[in-house]
């Protein structure tokens, strides 16, 4: 296992742990903070693979706008909600996860399948560049998407104004 793989495993581990933090904390504010950390780590994994445009979009749009609004709302309504399920549900969940892990483990150990998968997915490199993306079709897609987002926001503003 080389250094890059170790770094990826570390990033994925921190992402999974911060996700668990959302589930385990009872305070909405801390849950929102853990959620933001999870999204930052997802964006960091994009940067790790040198896909900087998506990193910038996630950090600025998804975390910078939506995430901060969520943190602000969570800080406003800051109280610990009650759980709707018993902790005893954890037992069947753990059993199911163990069975699934064992099935996947035995499946991967099946040598011909593993070899086929390795030959199929071995060493693709990421060749994305923003220059290739700027074509007429994708610009049209962006235009449609922007129109959709504007319509969506206008309808929300309309609902909000009608409430007042």
By CB under 8 A, tell whether 98 contacts other proteins: no
Select from 95, 123, 143, 154 the one that contacts other proteins (CB under 8 A): 123
Alpha-carbon 85 to chain mean position:
25
Closest residue by Cα to residue 66 from 139, 126, 153, 132: 153
Select from 52, 65, 99, 102 the one that contacts other proteins (CB under 8 A): 65
By CB under 8 A, tell whether 35 contacts other proteins: yes
By CB under 8 A, tell whether 50 contacts other proteins: yes
Minimum distance, C-beta of residue 89 to other proteins, in the bound complex (Å) = 9
Minimum distance, C-beta of residue 135 to other proteins, in the bound complex (Å) = 8
Residue 134: other Cβ atoms inside 10 A: 10
Q: For residues 8 and 48, is the Cβ–Cβ distance under 8 A?
A: yes
Minimum distance, C-beta of residue 105 to other proteins, in the bound complex (Å) = 12
Site string for other proteins, 69-88 (x = CB under 8 A): xx--xx--x-x-xxxxx---
Minimum distance, C-beta of residue 76 to other proteins, in the bound complex (Å) = 9
By CB under 8 A, tell whether 107 contacts other proteins: no
By CB under 8 A, tell whether 109 contacts other proteins: no
Q: Is 46 exposed, middle or buried (0-12, 13-18, 19+ CB in 10 A)?
A: middle
With contacts defined by CB under 8 A, how many residues of the chain interact with other proteins? 72
By CB under 8 A, tell whether 143 contacts other proteins: no
Q: For residues 25 and 31, is the Cβ–Cβ distance under 8 A?
A: yes
Minimum distance, C-beta of residue 93 to other proteins, in the bound complex (Å) = 8
- Token look-up 């975390």 returns 63
Instruction: Give φ, ψ of 126 to 5 degrees.
Output: -85, 125
- Token look-up 């749009």 returns 61
């Amino acid at each position: 296992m080389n250094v890059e793989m170790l770094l990826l495993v570390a990033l994925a581990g921190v992402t999974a742990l911060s996700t668990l933090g959302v589930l385990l904390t009872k305070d909405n504010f801390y849950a929102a903070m853990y959620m933001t950390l999870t999204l930052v780590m997802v964006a960091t994994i994009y940067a790790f693979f040198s896909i900087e445009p998506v990193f910038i979009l996630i950090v600025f749009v998804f975390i910078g706008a939506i995430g901060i609004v969520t943190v602000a709302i969570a800080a406003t309504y800051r109280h610990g909600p009650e759980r709707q399920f018993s902790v005893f549900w954890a037992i069947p969940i753990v059993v199911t996860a163990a069975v699934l892990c064992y099935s996947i483990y035995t499946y991967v150990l099946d040598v011909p399948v593993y070899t086929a998968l390795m030959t199929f997915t071995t060493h693709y490199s990421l060749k994305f560049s923003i220059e290739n993306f700027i074509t007429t079709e994708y610009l049209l897609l962006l235009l449609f998407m922007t129109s959709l987002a504007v319509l969506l926001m206008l309808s929300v503003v309309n609902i909000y104004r009608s409430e007042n």
